[in-house]
Amino acid sequence: MVDVRGVHYGFGRREIFSGLDLQVRRGRITAFMGPSGTGKTTLLRLITGQAAPHEGTVRVFGEDVPKLPQRELFALRRRMGMLFQNGALLTDLSVFENVAFPLREHARLPESLLRHIVLSKLHAVGLRGAANLMPGELSGGMARRVALARAIVMDPEILIYDEPFVGLDPISMGMIVRLIRQMNEVLGITSIVVSHDVEELGAIAHDSYLLSQGKVVASGTPAELRASHLEVVRQFMEGIADGPVPFHYPAPDYFGQLLDGGSP
């Protein structure tokens, strides 16, 4: 479903990817993991055509994404659903209208059919009774579930979750983990989950990629990653503070900078 080959990408002098290779297989839950700043969200931007690699190829559904004309790119995006970080609900619209928004934008449906679809998606995430609430009346976990209903309302073939567990209490997190698994199994879709929550990903992911230093440093099932003897993998999976991923951002000599008296 997604094939990334030899991708190089960066901002200015900062290189984010330097020869990135990975694949997302149909019908499976694939996790992209890695420390903060390793380009997980940037990878999603490349997959959805919001950015283009400097070198290499990004193919989705067999299409070379950076080369697609705008009309075809938009058509490809309609085959994907996206759960944004923190939900990103439209604050001036009710729960019902938030979920209905993609349908109103991209389809011409009778109001009765639109209502049926929206309520069915809200029912799937357990929030049919909250259809008339406003986003400000929702808890964090409820807002994330409404955002998930919106992400699946167009019946996507690929469903992308960008940090779906951030800021959730244990109960809400357990609900989202269960929903990700259920959506994948019941709807038969392909799921991409970007997160650094090792325990939650271990409960749902079929395939995992650990990104670091611009490349995939390890891949396999969550169990295979936990069994790895590579130092960078162990540091991430076990949450070790000291290791290949440094604590300090590169900087001049500390005492020399203190005595310099110039700008920081």
State yes or no: pLDDT of 94 exceeds 80: yes
Distance CA 154, CA 100 (A): 10
pLDDT in tens, 4-21: 999 999 887 788 898 899
Distance CA 245, CA 111 (A): 53
Q: Tell me the whole-structure pTM to 2 decimals.
A: 0.82
Distance CA 116, CA 15 (A): 47
State yes or no: pLDDT of 245 exceeds 60: no
Average pLDDT over residues 139-157: 89
Residue ranges of domains in the chain: 2-70+194-259
Domain 2-70+194-259 has CATH 3.10.20.30: no
64 contacts 241 by C-beta, under 8 angstroms: no
